[in-house]
Structure 1
Amino acid sequence: MHSTPISLPELDDLDRRILEQLQEDSSLTNQDLAQRVHASPPTCLRRVRRLVDEGVIDRQVAILSAEKLGSTLTAIVEITLDVQAAERLDEFERSMLTERAVLQCYRVSPGPDFVVIAQVKDMPAYHALVHRAFTAQANVRNVRTFFSVHRAKFETRIDVRA
């Protein structure tokens, strides 16, 4: 069985500088961005539009402070399913997509079937999440949770250097 290689877009130095700046602050005006990357505003705007069109820039968001919003409990949850058939894995994954407390969901191997990162207000909110999203599902065999006591690093940036 042969897999088709993913076609990666060609990125030059200017594209990389633009991406670095936008990862730092996506609210920059085109004028400010152009100045920071040493390009003309029309060139910069054209490049950003191309990066969006090619899917390199997936979306632009605001990163909120969980602490300031009262959502201070981070749970790293390992989930093992009873049945690992493709349709059962897909079913569990779909259920995680609709769960607002779940920030990230990964299928992993080896070990558990999924690792989920969840952000909740407190332990009662965590217990409600576990009941609603995990233990109420008949196919969930095991749930193992780690709670963050300190976050040393949190980044959303991707290294775009060549």
Structure 2
Amino acid sequence: MNQSPLVELDDLDRRILVQLQQDCALTNQELAGRVHASPPTCLRRVRRLVETGVITRQVAILAPEKIGSSLTAIVEITLDIQAAENLAAFETAMLNEPAVLQCYRVSTGPDFVVVAQVPDMPAYHALVHRAFTAQANVRNVRTFFSVHRAKFETRVDISEA
């Protein structure tokens, strides 16, 4: 696995990250006020966090049920052949599939766990055909459907270990 070097974070970096994970739409002035730093210092710190890859994207998080995409599928995928090129090919296919929100290569059990968001069961069946069964190397597909989401977070705990 390709591991990036750790980025050293001080207390101000952590305060900035906590605030941005709660609301990335804050102006630099608002952010500086919340983390008790000057706006120029805050702007420099945020730029450094972006440049070093600590902040990878700033996005809007949507409520899927409000836009007609209320079926969440958690899918276990087992491949026939687990050679590096086959694993990479499956990952590439998942990267190109709009319904797939998350794709994890896992150990002990299936090869991948995929989280997909679709409007309904016919859309799920279309996804299965298009992304899983149409691929010659997929041996097994096992799906769990969410009936209730008790927690959904995008934030990462950045408290010191």
User: TM-score interval w.r.t. the shorter chain?
Assistant: over 0.9
Q: How far did 1:5 drift?
A: 7.2
Aligned counterpart, 2:9:
11
| SS in structure 2 at match of 1:80 | strand
Distance 1:4 1:28, change over 3 A: closer
127, 136, 139: which one aligns with 2:137: 139
- 1:101 correspondence with 2:99: yes
Q: Distance in 2 between matches of 1:48 and 1:54?
A: 10
Aligned counterpart, 1:156:
154
63, 82, 85: which one aligns with 1:84: 82
Q: How does 1:111-122 map onto structure 2 within 5 Å? A: 111-122=109-120
Q: Percent identity?
A: 79
Q: Distance in 2 between matches of 1:116 and 1:11?
A: 31
Q: Distance in 2 between matches of 1:4 and 1:21?
A: 29
Aligned counterpart, 1:46:
44
Q: Distance in 2 between matches of 1:138 and 1:7?
A: 36
Q: How far did 1:7 drift?
A: 2.4
TM-score by length of 2: 0.96
Q: Distance in 1 between matches of 2:127 and 2:104?
A: 17
Question: Which residues of structure 1 form unaligned runs of 5+?
Answer: none
Q: Aligned-pair RMSD on alpha carbons?
A: 1.3
Q: How far did 1:27 drift?
A: 0.2
Aligned counterpart, 1:25:
23
Q: Distance in 1 between matches of 2:36 and 2:97?
A: 43
Cα-to-partner distance string for 1:10-63 (whole Å, 9 max, x where unaligned): 111110000000000000000000000011111111111111111111110111
Cα-to-partner distance string for 1:82-110 (whole Å, 9 max, x where unaligned): 11111111111111110000000011111
The count of residues paired between Structure 1 and Structure 2 equals 160
Q: How far did 1:161 drift?
A: 1.1
